[in-house]
Every structure is written in C-alpha cells, then in structure tokens.
Chains A and B, each alone.
Chain A
Amino acid sequence: MTAEKLPMCPRCETDKTEELTKSPDPGVWVIYRCPTCFFAWRSTEPDFITDPKKYDPNFKFKPEDMATFQVVPTVPDLIKR
C-alpha cells in the first residue's frame, strides 16, 4: 500500500504538510496542516481555500516573510540576577 500524497500548503506553497486527522465518519474529509506557516484546512473546503493557485493572493505569504511580522506582545528583557 502506498502512502497518500499530501497536498501542497495552499497559503505558503511549501510541500511539507501533514495530516492532522480524518473524519470520525470515515471518508468524509481530512484535515491538513502546514508546519511551516501553521495554515490548517479541511479537504471539503471550497477550492479558493484548498487550491494554492486559487488561494487569495492578498492572504498568501512566503515562509521567509514570517521573520518580518510584527511581534505581539514584545518579549521583555530577562531580569538580571
């Protein structure tokens, strides 16, 4: 038996995604996760969520963009002892 091919992340387009769970009622849907940008999606969602080509470009980002995101809340300085 061959392993099912995992889909590409619709948002950041990395190909290293993972399966989080399958529907308790077998065969209805699968939930996937992207460990790079933390996007999660269900196989039964509309194609503008699941298909990297149709995902809203305004909401896409590249893995390297994450380093520039605003930090909320900021990390405080360590107390010097």
Chain B
Amino acid sequence: MAYKGLREFLNVLEKNGQLLRISEPVLPEPDIASAACAGTKLGDQSPALLFENIKGYTTAKIAMNVHASWPNHALAIGMAKDTPLKEQFFEFVKRYQTYPGKIERRADAPWKEVVIDKDINLYDLMPLLRLNQGDGGFYIDKSTVVSRDLNDWDNIDTQNCGMYRLEVKGRNRIGIQPIPEHDIAIHLARAEEQGKDLPVAICLGNDPLMSIVSGMPILYDQSEYKMAGALQGEPYRITATELTGLDAPWGSEFVLEGKIKSRVREAEGPFGEFTGHYSGARNMPVIEIDRVSHRKNPIFEHLYIGMPWTEIDYLLGINTGAPLYVQLKENFPEIVSVNALYTHGLVVIISTKRRFGGFAKAVGLRVFSTPHGMGYAKVVIVVDETVDPYNLPQVMWALSTKFNPQFDLVVVPGMSVLSLDPGSDPEGMTYKMVIDATTPKAPETHGHYSQELRDPAGTQQWMKQIGEMVASAAKQGGSR
C-alpha cells in the first residue's frame, strides 16, 4: 500500500465511510475548528471532514480530522479500518524494523503546477484561519518542514522532516517553534552559530503516512523519507525543490520555500496546544517565504488541536510508542509492549518481564534518555508482562496493588521537558518519575504477592463460547 497524496487518501476514507463532505456554507471562524473539535468528541471512530463551501472563499477546500480516529489511522497505514489499536501498534513496529526503506526520486511533481515567486501573500494563497480563541494568529499546524545540516548538506539521512507549529505572521512571514529537543533545532543552531540563514521547505497537504512520520521521534540520522518507505513497503516518492534543493514529498498540495532568518527571534503565540493549555507568547524564530508552489485548486489540510483528545492524539500516539518500543528493546529484550498515547507521551506505560530486583526501575529510567524521553516522558509507569499497557483498567489495577511509594517511586530532579508542559518550572525543566508497579523480584522482597489470583480454569474457552453466542444472537436480531 502506498498513497500518492492526500487526495487519494480522502477518496479511500470516503469509500470506507470515514469522510464527511460539509457542503453547507460555514464561516472560517469559529465553524471549522468547532466542527473538527466536535468530531473528535463523538468518539474514536469519527470521520474526516472536508469543507467545500467556506464563506468568503470561492474555490478553497479544507480537510480536517484526516487522522482523527483509529479507523482513519488504520486506513492511513494501509490496514482494514476495523483493525484493533494493539494490532495497528505491532504491525507498525514490524514495518518500522525494516528501516531503511527505499526512496524514489521524481523530477516532476503535481505541486509544480502553479508557482508564485513575487509579491507572495500567503493569506491570498491559503484559506488560513484561527483554531482557538486565544490563538495569537492563523496557524499552519499540519505540515512537514524539511531542513538540512548546513555542515552536512548532501546527507539525506540527517535531512529532517518535522511537524512544527507555524504562525503566519505576515504576507510571507512565518513564526516557527523549533523546540530544542527537536531535530530542526540542531540544524538551526549549526546555521546560527555561523550567522547563516537556514533554508526550509514547508510541505502541506501530504499523503497520510508523511504526517505520521513527520511526528515520529526517530534518531537524528534516520531519514523520515526512508522511514516512510519502510512503513509503506514501497519506495517513497520525493521531488527536489527548485529554490532550496531540499526534498519534498512528491504528492504535497503546497510547497513553501524560504529560510529561517539567522539569530532573529520575535513574538509568537499564544497557541492552543496538545497539553490542553495555551503556550503563552514567546520569542521564536522567523521564516521568510520566497517561493510558493502548489497544485491547481489545492486542498488545505489543517488540524484542530485543543483539550485532549483531538486529532493529534491519534496522529502522534502509535508513531511515538513504536520507536520507543524498538529503542528500549535494544537494551531490554524483556519489554513486551509500550503505550505512549497520552498527551503525546508525557506519560509512558511499559510492560516488561523482570530478571531481578530493580530491573523495572532501570527500564523506566532508560526511557528518559531516548530521543522522545528527552523532551517528553515525564511519568513512566512500568507494569508486569501480564498487564496490557493499552488496557487502562489493568494498568490501574497494577498501580493500585503492586505499587508501594515507599519502595517503588523513583523521582529524578533537573530533567528536560518541552517548554509547552505547563507544569514545568522553569519552562523546559521538570522532575520526572518512574512508578514501578511490577511484582517485586528477588532479591527485592517487599509486599505480599504470592497469592495473586488467576482466572478459573476454562475461562478462555468460555470467553470464546459466550462471544460466539453473543455474535450469533446479534446476527439473528439484525436479520429480523
């Protein structure tokens, strides 16, 4: 499976009953954000929304909630829409481990149909809008920003594709949030210490896998394009941009080329963030756009972000847990599963076998030094291999019974976290903790765990039998 672009994926969503076209007239604000927010409040099976009649615009189309449910995520990675979450996770892990995948370079791309390199006004070219009422402006928050290390320009593996929030602050002026823990901040620091601008390409309206890969905490020298190739099992198509030479996805709707101005910081924000809080206003870098390329009648893809859960929690859930799982398993093959679904993995739950006392705490502490853990992973909960980290009632049972704060709580001061964490103090610094909710293993002896309950003999067979009887009764009921 390999979607060649957003349009192809929207067609697949529609055929699967996972896309709603909104053809009634809507106001840009607040209707589009409100509808997208409402969609995710309806549950984890909700459809994407395609707005086709936006007041004041004549041809604009805006796609929202493209990844905003588990069926949509399953379809995005080429699985059946009813694939359970855990199966999606382990299939993702399996494909991830085939890295590096292949890339396919193409000279021409549909986004080269229209080119603007004079008098650029992004407000004329895109249906920009406000998402949350406290936002300081109109944002692009679902794009792939491509950059390279100026000192290692020809290295495609360190070329970075990341999803960063972008405030459109003027006709061709964009504020960007390169959080220090993210790879683009490394490129920017290397450019700025030489006093040079950093070329960037902002690619918007992509195939669904590119958005997933752009938000993945993979290693600095792993290529997102090769990761996309691995995940889709086919070469990933890219096309070199004209002005900067950076590689863009072949299928993008828009490609904006420009540069981050060296050593410039100016007011940006606030912006309603994935933490369910606004970011506050900060001084951040600025991009000047020099060239815009886009398809004819481009589709603008946008993402509502606010109080969890919103689209971003589906988009950045499995793709955060999978790299963590693989990176941790290299050190600890005993690890069984990793759940980093909550608030972009500020909380991480790990199930693992243990070889000796203290083992679970070591596993938990290792999370903090992974690429994801450096900026997120504030609370790590470690549970036995028999507890499914995706089953929160089971996790709560482990916390309730296996965890004794006298023995099982490890608090680490002075750790890094992204500055958007509203609990960090000062911004970007936090204590972190590991909660060891596993059964103690020798020589650790505390507690009384020798009489843990097991299900009565034959429960598994009864589950199968009762499940079949329920399905059969439902079928008969449905055929009446």
Contact surface of A with B, Cβ cutoff 8 Å: 11, 20-21, 23-25, 28-29, 31, 33, 35, 37-42, 44-46, 48-49, 56, 58-59, 61, 66, 69-79
Contacts and interface: CB of A to CB of B under 8 A. Distances in A.
Contacts of B333: none
A56 B134 contact: yes
Which of the listed residues B55, B185, B193, B267 has the most CB atoms from chain A within 10 Å of its own CB?
Answer: B267
A44 B178 contact: no
Contacts of A56: 133-134
Q: A-side binding surface: helix, strand, loop or mixed?
A: loop
B427 A76 contact: no
Given A38-B267, A72-B180, A25 B57 contact: yes
Nearest to A26: B56
A77 B195 CA distance: 9
Nearest to B168: A40
Given A35-B170, A38-B266, A72-B179, A24 B195 contact: no
Contacts of B189: 73, 76
Contacts of B281: 61, 66, 69
B28 A42 contact: yes
Interface string B174-199: 01011110000100110011110000
A72 B428 CA distance: 10
B452 to A, nearest CB: 48
A55 B176 CA distance: 25
Given A42-B29, A44-B55, A49-B130, A73 B169 contact: no
Given A33-B170, A71-B282, A72-B419, A44 B136 contact: no
B263 interface: yes
Nearest to B125: A21
Contact of B121 (A20, A42, A78): A20
A25 B56 contact: yes
Contacts of A28: 55-56
B58 interface: yes
Interface of B: 27-30, 55-59, 121, 123-124, 128-130, 133-134, 136-138, 167-171, 175, 177-180, 185, 188-189, 192-195, 263, 265-268, 270, 278, 280-285, 419, 427
Given A20-B171, A45-B130, A76 B121 contact: no
Nearest to A71: B283
B180 A73 contact: yes
Contact of A69 (B29, B263, B282): B282
Nearest to A35: B170
B170 A78 contact: no
Nearest to B59: A24
Contacts of A73: 178-180, 185, 188-189, 285
**For A38, A61, A78, which residue has the most chain B Cβ atoms within 10 angstroms?**
A38
A24 B283 contact: no
A44 B111 CA distance: 31
A70 B376 CA distance: 20
Contact of B263 (A42, A59, A75): A75
Contacts of B133: 46, 48-49, 56
Contact of B177 (A21, A39, A44, A72): A72
Contacts of A25: 55-58
Contact of A11 (B28, B136, B195, B282): B136
Nearest to A23: B56
Contacts of A21: 121, 123-124
Contacts of A33: 169-170
B136 A70 contact: no
A57 B339 CA distance: 39
Nearest to A41: B130
Nearest to B173: A38
29 contacts: A20-B123, A20-B171, A21-B121, A25-B58, A29-B28, A29-B55, A31-B123, A31-B138, A33-B169, A38-B167, A38-B170, A39-B136, A40-B136, A40-B137, A42-B28, A42-B129, A46-B30, A48-B133, A49-B130, A56-B134, A59-B134, A59-B278, A61-B281, A66-B266, A70-B427, A71-B282, A71-B283, A71-B284, A75-B265
A2 B256 CA distance: 36
Nearest to A20: B123
The 6 closest A-B CB pairs, nearest first, are A23-B56, A28-B56, A40-B137, A21-B123, A38-B169, A76-B193
A79 B270 CA distance: 32
A73 B186 CA distance: 10
